[in-house]
Amino acid sequence: MDKIGHGKWGGWIVPLGVLLRLFTVITAQPGFLSISCGGKTDHTAENNITWVTDAGYIDVGQRADIDIGNVSALGSYLHSLRYFPKPLNKSCYQLPVTPNAPYLLRLWFVAGNFSLVKGNLEFSFSIETVDILATREVFSVISEQIYYEFIFVTSGRVLYICLVRTFSSYDPFISAIELRRLQDGMYQNNIGEGGRILVLQSRYDVGGNSVVRYPQDKFDRIWTPFKSSGPSRNVSSKEPISTTNTENLPPTAVMQTASVTLSETQPFLLDSTFDSAILLVLYFAEIETLNMSESRSFHVQLDGVQHSTITLMRNYSALEVTISPDTEIGRVELVESTNSTLPPIINAYEYYWEINSGRPTLSDDIYILNDIKGRFHIKDWISDPCYLIPWNGISCDDITGDIRISEIDLSGRKLTGLVPENIGDLTALVNLSLDNNAFTGPMPNFSNLIMLERLYLQNNNFNGNIEFVSSLTNLKELYLQNNNFNGNIEFVSSLTNLKELYLQNNNLNGNLKWLSEVKNLTKLYLQNNNFNGNLEWLSQLKNLKELNKQEN
Ligand SMILES: *[C@@H]1O[C@H](CO)[C@@H](O)[C@H](O)[C@H]1NC(C)=O
Ligand SMILES: *[C@@H]1O[C@H](CO)[C@@H](O)[C@H](O)[C@H]1NC(C)=O
Ligand SMILES: *[C@@H]1O[C@H](CO)[C@@H](O)[C@H](O)[C@H]1NC(C)=O
Ligand SMILES: *[C@@H]1O[C@H](CO)[C@@H](O)[C@H](O)[C@H]1NC(C)=O
Ligand SMILES: *[C@@H]1O[C@H](CO)[C@@H](O)[C@H](O)[C@H]1NC(C)=O
Ligand SMILES: *[C@@H]1O[C@H](CO)[C@@H](O)[C@H](O)[C@H]1NC(C)=O
Ligand SMILES: *[C@@H]1O[C@H](CO)[C@@H](O)[C@H](O)[C@H]1NC(C)=O
Ligand SMILES: *[C@@H]1O[C@H](CO)[C@@H](O)[C@H](O)[C@H]1NC(C)=O
Ligand SMILES: *[C@@H]1O[C@H](CO)[C@@H](O)[C@H](O)[C@H]1NC(C)=O
Ligand SMILES: *[C@@H]1O[C@H](CO)[C@@H](O)[C@H](O)[C@H]1NC(C)=O
Ligand SMILES: *[C@@H]1O[C@H](CO)[C@@H](O)[C@H](O)[C@H]1NC(C)=O
């Protein structure tokens, strides 16, 4: 099952200051980043691709060497993996990307003997940038080679690849990450300006007899030989094939082989069980030597409806047809034209699902959280704060269509210094816990946090007054105890929803009779302050269950 969400895209500004250890490795292949997860040393593979270890891109999880058995096709980069044991639930790689450039991303999951001790593979991963959120499940019962491939463009500078625990018993893992920068314009008509992602279903070299990838494909796409089922004839040529008329630049080696049907029709059946939009790219080139009386022309038909007509030239020039139908299709056919003397030919095709991004957290909120993360060096706050599994200490809510931060819990994290001012701009906060740290100084003006119901500031070294509280009329619990707050707090009479109020061990003052307005108080702690007035009105608080009076 596919779990990629659909929704609008959002902007997301990532302050570069908070990103750690992002660097680009200079390799023999500009625009390639090839990471052997859990690998011990960098190395160059048979096809000259430089593989690096994942040390610079993630700092959680554990490495393992694996035995992948007698599968010679699998590269040396798959002999290790990185897995993420409990209590890790979501662990992310951070990779640098160039904004607005198209990329191909391939993720490998090869368990080898690792799966024997851990059971079936069953976990998820996500791809996250400022404008793309997508997730997929990894599910397999045997130690097969599995890879997932995506093409996208993002306006962001950082790509997060996160391994997500979906069942408590299985540790997520990943074997290798291949990131290849494509040439500007490739697949651009289908990935647009960002926020959309192509998910590879199949990519075939029709008529070929071995896998083609780098260096024959300079973008390192993997083209597998197509096992054609109908009556057909494999043809090949040694002539160079021009791709100047194509957007996606298929490699010559792939275009040099093709299949010619022995009937008037060549059918392809697509797996159309998914309800997403599809993208089909067909590649054609005449590679047979034709005499002057021969010609080849055919129609591309989708479920019996004509889509386009292909008339091939004899100048070894590749043609490309991109199909992104409005409705689901199951059958693609190449049907010979009546004026053609030869049956259809096809050299290659690619088939993708087109996925829209899930909804990112509101960028203003992300900006503030990243600021807090940077200030307090919170290492485990990585990727989108709310997607799939919210950051530790964060809760999120959908507020009229925006994904907002509704809770921050930083209690007991040994934090010092001033509370960042801009927490006061997280206007969807319902709960804010800063308690049990060593914060100092006055509180920022939190008067815009009008949804706030619980404010826990106890057990810090705060001082100054707390006048801003008077506008927080939804407050139910206010814990200020064991600080050095001072000033008059008679204005707290406006907090009519307050149920719990802890003021003990501060230097607060004022007349206490205002408390008679706060009718629903159940817990009230007052001692060690400088309040004045008598406490006769206390009897009006019918719900009061706990009371700790001022000691004079
Ligand atoms: C690898 O690179 C070397 C030196 O650049 C070159 O001679 C060799 O042909 C390359 N091998 C492949 C498989 O591309
Ligand atoms: C898997 O194979 C590797 C390499 O032979 C070995 O180092 C590792 O201990 C094996 N793991 C298990 C769980 O058997
Ligand atoms: C691997 O498999 C191939 C063919 O299946 C066989 O020829 C070869 O001997 C095997 N190698 C090992 C090390 O088992
Ligand atoms: C991971 O999820 C489990 C189950 O929901 C939870 O008990 C555990 O605390 C989580 N781990 C972290 C680091 O949050
Ligand atoms: C064409 O090549 C493919 C891939 O090698 C092969 O599966 C198929 O049988 C060949 N077809 C014919 C008619 O030889
Ligand atoms: C062109 O080739 C076809 C098929 O090989 C043959 O039947 C025909 O006679 C040829 N025509 C000419 C003008 O050579
Ligand atoms: C081949 O011919 C077509 C049609 O005349 C033309 O558009 C294309 O540019 C030519 N290709 C090459 C490589 O000359
Ligand atoms: C054959 O007919 C198609 C239209 O059906 C046309 O586009 C093509 O140019 C024709 N080919 C030849 C060789 O006349
Ligand atoms: C706020 O905290 C209360 C009490 O712990 C909890 O029940 C509620 O779900 C929290 N609300 C949000 C939005 O996190
Ligand atoms: C706090 O901010 C509010 C609104 O931004 C403003 O009206 C109020 O005067 C400020 N309070 C203090 C004490 O600065
Ligand atoms: C007090 O609590 C009662 C019942 O819980 C509620 O109906 C009422 O609105 C509350 N009063 C105030 C002033 O919040």
Q: How far apart are CA 81 and CA 452, in angstroms?
A: 44
Q: How far does residue 239's CA lie from ligand 7's centre (Å)? A: 15
pLDDT in tens, 261-293: 887 777 777 766 556 788 999 999 999 999 999
Contact between residue 84 and residue 172 where contact means Cβ atoms under 8 Å apart: yes
Task: Decide whether any atom of ligand 7 lies within 6 Å of the 313 Cβ.
Answer: yes
Q: Which residue ranges form the domains of the chain, and what is each CATH number?
A: 5-200 (2.60.120.430), 228-354 (2.60.120), 363-548 (3.80.10.10)
For 270, residues 6+ apart whose C-beta sits below 8 A from its C-beta are 278, 280, 329, 330, 331, 332, 351
Q: How far apart are CA 493 and CA 50, in angstroms?
A: 68
**Which residues form the pocket of ligand 5, taking CB atoms under 6 Å from any ligand atom?**
207, 209, 225, 227-228, 232-234
Phi, psi of 376 (to 5 degrees): -105, 10
User: In sequence order, what DSSP letters do the residues of 465-503 get, joined into one string?
Assistant: --GGGGG-TT--EEE--SSEEEEE-GGGGG-TT--EEE-
Q: How far apart are CA 260 and CA 235, in angstroms?
A: 7
Of 361, 445, 442, the C-alpha closest to 398 is 361
Q: How far does residue 124's CA lie from ligand 3's centre (Å)? A: 33
Q: How far apart are CA 316 and CA 127, in angstroms?
A: 39
State the pLDDT at residue 16.
34
pLDDT in tens, 124-181: 999 999 999 999 998 775 556 789 999 999 999 999 999 999 987 788 999 999 999 9
Indicate if the alpha-carbon torsion angle 535, 541, 542, 544 is positive or negative.
Answer: negative
Q: How far apart are CA 329 and CA 321, in angstroms?
A: 16
Task: Decide whether any atom of ligand 10 lies within 6 Å of the 537 Cβ.
Answer: no
Task: Decide whether any atom of ligand 7 lies within 6 Å of the 392 Cβ.
Answer: no
Q: How far does residue 310's CA lie from ligand 6's centre (Å)? A: 22
Contact between residue 546 and residue 522 where contact means Cβ atoms under 8 Å apart: yes
Mutate to test the pocket of ligand 9, among 394, 430, 432, 449 (most ligand atoms within 8 A of CB): 430
Q: How far does residue 342's CA lie from ligand 6's centre (Å)? A: 11
Positions in the chain short of pLDDT 50 = 1-24, 552
Q: How far does residue 312's CA lie from ligand 7's centre (Å)? A: 10
Q: How far apart are CA 465 and CA 487, in angstroms?
A: 5
State the pLDDT at residue 64.
94
State the pLDDT at residue 435.
98
Task: Decide whether any atom of ligand 10 lies within 6 Å of the 447 Cβ.
Answer: yes
